[in-house]
Amino acid sequence: MRVVFLGSNPSNASPIDEAFTHCKSRATLDGWIAKLGLIASDIEFMNVSNVKTPKNRRLKLSEVQSAVDSLIDNTYGKIVICLGCTAKEAMTLVNKRVPRSYISLPHPSGRNRLLNDSQWLDKTLLEAKEALSLLAK
């Protein structure tokens, strides 16, 4: 089973434009990966866009739409785990053209207040793990 963790776009604080490398969110994401029972060789990291935005603003709908063709190509045969609203929005657009299996999780940013509720987060990760096992069949 090949799994893609899909984020929005790189933070301006990141020295490179690759998804979830050299960022604070990666430590949180690594913990989630362990709880989901995934192994590194089965995982890819991808962003909707690899372009940094001024003041880390959210991607505009037009920017998300321009990435759909690439996402269709790069998610073929893979299960996508959307990290945050922008990634989920992008996969919703992909699914209007070509069905893809995806799961939604909150963004692993330390600024995400949802992550302060450990019981909610544990329940959410358990549901994602169950969904992954169903999609892998």
Domains parsed from the chain with CATH numbers: 3-135 (3.40.470.10)
pLDDT, one tens digit for every residue, the chain (137 residues): 799 999 999 887 777 777 777 677 888 999 999 999 999 899 999 999 998 889 889 999 999 999 999 999 999 999 999 999 999 999 999 999 998 889 999 999 888 999 999 999 999 999 999 999 999 87
Query: Checking DSSP bridges between strand 43-47 and strand 3-7, what pairing results, if any?
Result: parallel
d(CA 6, CA 91): 9
Sheet holding 102-105, edge to edge: 43-47, 3-7, 79-83, 102-105
Helix or strand holding residue 27 (H, E): helix 25-35
Angle, helix 118-135 to helix 25-35, in steps of 10 degrees: 60
